[in-house]
Structure 1
Amino acid sequence: MKKAVASGSYEVNGKRLERFSRRESGRAILFRTVQPEGIEITVTVRRRRGRSGGLEISHRIANRSKRELVLGACQPFSIEFSSSDPAEVRLFLNSGNPDNTCVARAGARPPFPKNSIRWLPADAERLVHTGMDFMLAFDPESRQALICHALTFQSDSPFFTCPAPRPGETGLRLELRGDYRGFRLKPGERLEGDRYLVRRGRDPFRLLEEMADELARANRTRLPRETLWGWCSWYSRAQEINRRYVIDSARLMQKRLGGRGRPLVLVDHGWQAARGTLGRHEQSDRRFPGGMKRLAGEIRALGGRPAIWFSPVRYNGASPFLKAHPEAALREARSDEALKYRERPDENGQASYFLDPTHPQTRREVVRCLERFSGWGYDYVKADYVEIPDWFAYRHHDRRTAANGPVNRALFETIYPAARRLEMRVLACITFNDRLAGLKDDQRVAHDTNPAAGPGHLAAMATTVFSRYFYHRRLQHNDPDCLCLTGRPPKKPEMSEGEARLRTLVVFLSGGTILLGDDPALVPEERFDLFRRCLPVFGRTGRPLDLFEADGVPAVHRLEVPDYGDGRVLAAFTNFTGQPRTFRLEAAAPDLRRPAAGLELFSGREFRLEAGESSVTVPPLDAALYLLVPELGHPWLTGTDRHWTGGFKGVVDRLAWEPAGRVLRFRFRNLFKHPEARFWIQWPKGYRPAGVRTSGAAAAWEAGGVLRLARPSISENIQISFKTGEVQKDV
C-alpha cells in the first residue's frame, strides 16, 4: 500500500506546487519540496506497527521567507484502490451536511443526499463523490475495503474525493483535499497539518468500528459509563411549555415506571424569556414561577435528573447579549453585515443571527450560560442549533481557524472544558461526529423524529441512526432523538401499531439514549409498554448487515447478547416501504448453532429453527424482532417479553442450570413496574417441569412452555424443578 500513496499539490500565493521529491527513511516515506520563495512543504507517510497497522500521514508547511504567505487549497495525498468493476464499488461517506451519511456506487449518477457529490473545477466534466472527514471504499465482489480518515482536526478542513470511474478503468483514486483559504503564514511560522490514517481490510464494518476507536484514542475521549433515558418536552408541546406541564409529566413518568431509576427530564427549547426567544438564556418568564432553579429542584425531588436546552451560537437580534456586543456576530465577508439565519426566522417569527465561535465575547457568553445552568441545578445540557454554515464565506475573529474543522471544534473547545469543570454532561445536537471527538459526551445521530412526519422522513431518520452505529460508546453515546409513539392530529392521523413498533426498534437498535417524546398523559398503556420494554438501556448497538447493499434504509440487523454465554443473537428486520418485504432469517444469523429456539418478541410467537432456510415477511411500515437461542441439551430460558433483548443481566440475572438437582434458576429484576411477565422456557425430550417456586409472585404455565408471573416484585427469584420423562410443551 505504501507504493500506492502519492503526494498531491498545494496552493501558496496563488501558485500551485505539485513537484515533490521522494525519500524513504525506515518505515516512513517523505515527500518534500523547497521553493525559491522560501516555502517548505513536507508530507510524511509512516507505516504503523501493531494489529491495526495502516499508514499514518501528516503534513507540514513552513515559511522560510521574509514575507507573509497566503495559503489556498491543498491535496496532501492520494491513494489507489483496485477493483475488477470500479463502477460497482460502494463508497461510504459523511456528506457535507451533518444529517447525511450515505452509501453510493462509485459509478452511479444522482440523486444522492445533499452535498455528497460535486464537480470539482479541475475535472469539471467528471462526477466526483465527496465525503467529509472520512471515506470508505468497499468492493463486494473481492470483499476488499479501504478507509481513509482524519485522526485530528486542529488545522485542516478535510474532505475526501473519489472521481467516478470512466469506461475501461480498473481502479479508483481516493484523494484527501483541504482548504486553507485566507490563512496567512507569517515569516518564520510553521503550520502543522492534521494526521490521517489509511487502512485496508476485508471487513468494512470492522474498519468503521476501528476508525471510531482510533479517533477516540487520538483525541483522548473519556465517556461516561451510563447511557441515559427519560423524557423530553419538545415534540409534545414545542415552545408551549410551562412549569406545571413539566412537573406533571415528570411525576407521571415516575408513577408509570414505579418510581425506579433516575429519568432524565429534558426541558427543551421554549423555556427562555419572551416565550422561548433565542439567546434569552439569562432567565425565563412567568410561565415558570420561581424560575428555572425552582423547576430543577422540583424535578430532583421527584427522583428525576434535570436537563436544559440552549442555543450557543444562534441568537435573536433583540437579545440583550447581541445588543451589548454586536461585534460578536459572525460577519458577511463582502458586506461586513451580521450573518442572518436565512433558512427561516425563529419560532417567534423574528430574525436570528450566528455568533462567531472564535470571538472572546462569544466564548465568555457560552461559559456564563453554563455556569448559570449549573447554579440553577442542571447537570445535563443540550447544545442545539450549532449547524455551522460555510465558514469560508464569512469573517470571524480568529483567522487561524479559517478551516471548517477547527471552527466546528472552536465552539465545543469552549463548551466542553467548562461543562467538565462544572460536572455537566453535554449533548451535541446536529453537528459533525468526527470533528468533535473528545469534546462531547452524547451526540444526536438522527434527523428529528417528529411524530407528524411521513414515512420518507422516518426512513431518512433511521438511515442516519443505522449508518452511525459504530460511533456508539467509542466516540460518543449515540442519541437517536426521541421515541414518539402517538400521532399528532390534525397534521397526522393516529400512528399505526406497525409504525410504533418500527420507531421503537430504530431507537432500541441504536443502543443509545432513550427519551420518550410524547405527553405521558396521552400515551396508551400498550404504547407506553413499548417504551418500558426498552428499559433498562441495553447499551449495545445493532450492526446493519446490508448497509453496503441496501438501496434504501438498511433493513437487516444483528445484535449479540453475550450475557449468558449461550450464543444467543437478536435478528431485526425493518420495512420503511409501502409493500410487504420478505427476508431470510439466516441473513442476520448465518453462524447460529442449530437447532435453536426462536421467539418473535413483538408478537410472542415461539418456533423451532432447524436445518434449511427460514423466511420472514414484514408488513409495510413495520418491523420484526427475533430472539434466537441455540438448544443446549438441558432446560434453559429462551427469553422474556419484558425487554426487547429477550433478557440480559439488567433484566434477568443469576441464570443457571443445576444438573444434580435438575433445577433451572434465575432472577427477574422488575425495575420498571411490569404488572406481569412471561418467560419462554425450552427443554429437550426426556424432561418435564415438576414445580415452580417464586419470591411471592403468582406463577402459572401457559401453552407452549410459557411461564407467566402475576404482580412480580422488584426482585423475583424463580426456581423451576424438572423430572425426567416425556411431556408436551402445552403443559
Structure 2
Amino acid sequence: MSLAVTVMLHGSTVVLANGLVAASVHLGSGSWALASLDDPLAALVCRPLRLADADGHHLVAGSAPCTWSEFAIDGPLGPGRRLRIVAPGQGDDRILELDLHAGRTGLVVGGGVRHHGPQPVRIGRIQLVDGSAFAGCPVAEGYAALDGESGCVPTRVHGPVPLRCRNNLVLRCGPGRPRCLVLGGLTYREFERFVAARPAVDSIAVELWAEDPVGRLVEPEETWVAADRSWIDLAGHDPFAVAEEYAWAVRLAQGVSLADGTYPTVCLWWASQGLGSPANDSPGAVAEMDLVAASGFLRYAAVGIRLLPDSYAKDNCDGWWDDAHWAACAPTFAPPGPCYKQPWPTTAAWCGAVRERGGVPISYMRANGRSEDYASAHPGHMLFNDPGRRLLCPVSARWWERDWPEAGRDLVGCDFTDPGFQAHVRQVYAGLRQAGLAGIFYDYPKITGWIAEGGFEDPQATTAAAYRQIFALAREGLGPEADLQERAYFLGSDVAIGLANAQRVIWDNSTWAPTLLARVARRWYKNRVVMDYDTDGKDLPAERELRGRDGVRAMLTMAAVASARILLATSFRHLDAELLHDLSRVVPLPALGRTARPLDLFAGGDCPQIFDLRIEDGWHQLTLYNTAVAAGSWPPVDLPLEPFTEGRRDFPGKVAGLIPVAATLAVELGAPAWAGGLGLDPAQRYYVYDFWNDRLAGIVGGGDRLAQDLRPAEARMLAIHQVEDRPQWIATDRHIHQGLVDLVRRPVWDPARRILAGTSRLVAGETTRVILATNGLSCTGATAAAGAAAIVSRGEGLLDLHLCSATGSEVPWEVGFS
C-alpha cells in the first residue's frame, strides 16, 4: 500500500487520501468527511465550514458550487498535499483547507475568508467541524472522553454525557478494542480552540471550532486564512497512542522547545515563611544558594532559586520592571524593606552571585499587572490609550483590589501590541538577559493579560494574539533557553504553547494529595512534550511528619513520574541528610519528551495508581502508587479558582485527616495499554526490581498478572527488564529510573571477550551500584577506567557492581564472566 498523498476528483467529490485515511469534499454542498481506510465505522461526516463575526452573526452562504485547488506542502509534519475549497457566499467566500501528510492518520484543518464586503469584518468564530462520528457503532459501550482543559482548570474523564472543553478532546468508544477520536488545536496564533461531544446510541455528534472574543479584523477584498490549524484523527484504537501522536504533532507544528526544568527549584515565597529561613529578597536568594552549595546537593543536579518581588501596592514594579523599582518595592512575606538590598542591589548582582555558586536564578512578574505611577507616566502604553478606563468584563476580580474604592478597581493594563510599549519591554528583557536571569514565573496572566474587549493598538490583534505577545516578547528577549512559566488561572487554555514552556496547575499549594497528581496525570501526553506541568510547592519536612518517609518518597516519585517540575516550598536549611538523599534520587528529572502513561486512567477513581514508562523494547519503568485510605476520600482540587476561597484554606486539614492504609495493586503485564496493561511478550520472562525497597521483586512471565502489596501511602518504582541469555544489568541505585539518567552508555555484552561493558555517570565521592543478573555465568571481576570498581554477590543470581569516583565523571567499566 502506498502512503503517498493523492488528490483525485470523482464526479462532484474531490478526495484527499494517503493510504491510511481519506478526506472527501462534496463540491455541490461543501459538506465533507474523513474516514479510515481499514475500518468502515471509523468515519466523520461534517457540515460545511461556517464563519461568524465577533458579534456572533454568521457569514451568509451562497448557492454556487465550491471550487477547489491543491498543491504540495512540506514542513514539520513531513511532506503532503493541501486541498483548498472555496465556497462562494453572499459577499464573502468561505475557505476550507485540509492537509494530509504521508504516513500520518491525522488530518490538519483550517479555515478563512475572502471578504468582498464594503466594510471590514472581525471574524470571531471558525466552525471547522460540525458533524457525526462513528455512525453505526454502539458508542456507549466502553465510552470515555478525556477533556483537554489546561492550566489550573481541572482535566477530567467523562462518561457518555455531553461535554464542552477547551483545547482538545481524546475519546474512546465501542466494545472490545476501542475506536478513538482526537480533535484539537494544532497551532495557536490568534484563536483558542474548543471541542464539544454529544454521544447518542450509535453515533457521536462532535464539534471543533476556533474562537476569540475580539476576533480577527479582515479588510475589504482581503483573503485571509487563519494560521491557527487543528487536528483530527479517528483511525486509531489505542487512546494512549493517539493522544501521544497528537501532542507530538502539536510540538512539531508549533515549534515547541521546552527549557531545561530537570532540576529542583527553591521558591523563596514559600521557603521564606519557614522559621530561620532566608528572606524573599536578593540577600535571601544568595543566602539560600549558599545553603544549597554547603549541602553538597549540587553533585546531583543544579538548583534554581526563585525570587518573587510580588508587590501589591498601587505603585509597584509592574510596567517598570527595573532595578530601581525592585529596590524600592517590598515583596509579600518579606521583612520590611525592598526586595533588592545590599550587597546585591541589582538583578545582575544577585543573579551573578547565584550563578557563581552553581545555581539558576529565576524571578517573577505579574504578567500584565498595573502600577499607577507607570500608567500615569505612560498613558499611551495602556489599553485604549486610556489609563483611567475600567474593564467591563474582566476574567476575574483582582483580589488585591478588594479593599480599594470601586472606581480604582479593574483598570486597564498595558497594551502588549503597542509599538512604544513593545520597545520598552524589549529593553527590559535585554537588560534581564544580560544580567543573567534564567527564567520568569508569570503570575495571574489570564486575570491581567486576557483582554476580551480589545483596546489594542494593533487593529488586527485578537485577544489570543495579544495574550501570546506577553510571552513572545519575553521569549524573544530572554532567549530560547529561558524558563517561562505561566500560572494559568481560570481559562485553562493552551494558547501560549510554543512560547511559555511551563504551566502551574493549582492554586498556591504546598500540601500533597493524590487528587493533585491526578490533574497532571490526565495530561500525560502533553507533559514534557508541549508543556511542563508544575504542581507547586513540595514541603518535604511537613510530608515526612504527616506520612513518614514513605510519604516523602511517594510525593517525590509521583512528582517526577507524572509532572515535570520539583518546586521546593522549604529552604535547604530544613532538609536533613535523609531528605536530601531521597530528593537526590529523583533528579535530574528525565528529559525523554514523554511521560509515563496512567494505565488505569479510564478505569475510574479519583487518581490513577498505575503508571508505565516504556523506555525501549524489553525495558519498562512501572510505578504503583497506593492512594487507599481507611475511610472517606481525598479532597478534590477541582475547587473555585478565586484565590483565598474557603475550599483552598480547608484543603490541608482535610488531607491531614485521612489515614492511608496498605493495599494491593496489580497489572496484567501482557494486556495492551488500552486494557490497562504493559503489552509485554507472553513468551518472555522479565526481571522486576524494586528501587526504593532495593530488592528483586520477582521474575515473571510477560503474560502474568503482577501483584504488589504496598504499604500505606507508598509509591513503588519497578524496573522491568526482559531476561536475556547472557549477563545483563537490571537496575541501578542512583536514580528512581534505574539507569535512564546515570547509565550514559547502556551495558553491552561482548560474547567474544565475555565482558559486559557500560559507562556510568558517577556522583563525586558517592558509591553507585549497578545491579547485574548473571543468568547462569560466573563473575571473574570488574574494572573501571577511573576510580574504584568492586563486585559484591547478593544471591539469587544477582551481583552489585560498586563504582566510586572522588571527582565524579562519566566512567567506563567492564565486568568479566566465565
Settle same-fold status: TM greater than 0.5: yes
Structure 2 regions of 5+ residues with no counterpart?
1-22, 25-32, 34-44, 71-82, 328-337, 631-661, 670-675
**Residue in 2 that maps onto 1:728:** none
Which of 171, 186, 208 aligns to 2:243? It is 208
Q: Which residue of 1 aligns with 2:74?
A: none
Shift in Å at residue 399 of structure 1?
7.2
How many residue pairs align between the two structures?
680
* Aligned partners of 2:719 and 2:738 also within 8 Å: yes
1:156 matched to 2:191? The reply is yes
Q: Determine the C-alpha separation between the residues in 1 that align with 2:314 and 2:348.
A: 18
* 2:696 counterpart (606, 613, 628): 606
Q: In the aligned structure 2, how far is the partner of 1:71 from the partner of 1:590?
A: 47
SS at match of 1:487: helix
Distance 1:623 1:66 in 2: 65
Q: Report the CA distance between 1:297 and its aligned residue.
A: 1.7
The answer as to whether partners of 2:433 and 2:477 remain within 8 angstroms in 1 is no
Query: How many angstroms apart in 2 are the aligned matches of 1:308 and 1:131?
Result: 32
The Cα of 1:435 is off from its aligned counterpart by: 1.9
Letter in 2 for 1:304: G
**1:63 maps to which residue?**
115
Corresponding residue for 2:359?
304
Map of 1:726 onto structure 2: none
Greater displacement, 497-506 / 714-723:
714-723
1:522–1:213 distance in 2 versus 1, CA, 3 Å:
same
- Which of 332, 336, 349 aligns to 1:294? It is 349
- Displacement of 1:313: 0.8
The letter for the 2-side match of 1:415 is: A
Compute the displacement of 1:87 (Å): 7.3
Distance, in Å, in 1 between the alignment partners of 2:431 and 2:156 is: 39
Q: Find the counterpart in structure 1 of residue 484 from structure 2.
A: 426
User: 2 CA distance for matches of 1:255 and 1:533?
Assistant: 19
Within 2, Cα distance between the matches of 1:20 and 1:499? Answer: 65
Q: Distance in 1 between matches of 2:124 and 2:297?
A: 61
Query: Once superposed, what is the RMSD of the aligned Cα atoms?
Result: 3.9
* TM-score (structure 2 length as normaliser): 0.73
From 592, 597, 620, the counterpart of 1:569 = 620
- CA 1:676–1:367: 2 relative to 1, 3 Å: same
2:269–2:308 Cα contact (<8 Å) kept: yes
Counterpart among 554, 565, 584 of residue 666 in structure 2: 584
Give the whole-Å Cα distance in 2 for the aligned partners of 1:70 and 1:692: 72
Tell me what 2:254 maps to.
Answer: 219
Contact 1:331 1:394 in 2 (8 A): no
- Report the CA distance shift for 1:86/1:298 in structure 2 as closer, same or farther (over 3 A): same
CA contact (8 A) 1:235 1:450 kept: no
Alignment of 1:653-668 (within 5 A): 653=745, 655-668=747-760
| 1:707 pairs with 2:767 | no
1:644: Cα distance to partner?
0.7
2:290 is aligned with 1:282: no
Q: TM-score, normalised by structure 1?
A: 0.81
Q: Please state how far the C-alpha of 1:65 moved relative to its aligned partner.
A: 2.5
Q: Specify which of 589, 594, 597 is matched with residue 537 of structure 1.
A: 589
Correspondences of 1:367-406 after superposition (within 5 Å)? 367-388=426-447, 391=450, 393-398=452-457, 400=459, 403-406=462-465
Identity value in percent: 16
Secondary structure at 2:601 match in 1: coil
Q: Secondary structure at the match of 1:52?
A: coil
**Cα offset for 1:160?**
1.4
Secondary structure in 1 aligned to 2:541? coil
Per-residue deviation at 1:94?
A: 2.2
Alpha-carbon offset, residue 384 of structure 1: 3.0
* Maintained 8 Å contact 2:148/2:170: no
* Residue 263 (1) aligns with residue 317 (2): no
Contact 2:782-2:789 within 8 A present in 1 as well: no
Q: Deviations over 1:447-476 (max 9, x none)?
A: 25833x263xx523x223223332345434
Name the counterpart of 2:524. Answer: 469
* Counterpart pick for 2:204 among 164, 172, 178: 172
Q: 1:630 to 1:278 in 2, by over 3 A?
A: same
Pick one of 221, 232, 236 that aligns with 1:188. Answer: 221
Question: Secondary structure at 1:597's aligned position in 2?
Answer: strand
1:707 partner amino acid: D
Instruction: Go from structure 1 to structure 2 and tell me whether the alpha carbon gap of 1:203 and 1:652 turns closer, same or farther (over 3 Å shift).
Output: same
Distance 1:690 1:58, change over 3 A: closer
Aligned partners of 1:404, 1:688: CA distance in 2, in Å?
A: 69
**Alpha-carbon spacing, 1:295–1:402, altered in 2? closer, same or farther (3 Å):** closer
User: What are the equivalent positions in structure 2 for 1:329-368 lying under 5 Å apart?
Assistant: 336-337=389-390, 342-345=397-400, 354-360=413-419, 362-368=421-427
1:363–1:164 Cα change, 3 Å: farther
Q: Is 1:241 the equivalent of 2:280?
A: yes
Residues 537-686 of structure 1 aligned to structure 2 (within 5 Å): 537-540=589-592, 541-562=595-616, 567-578=618-629, 580-585=662-667, 586=669, 587-592=676-681, 594-611=684-701, 612-648=704-740, 650-651=742-743, 653=745, 655-671=747-763, 673=764, 675-685=766-776
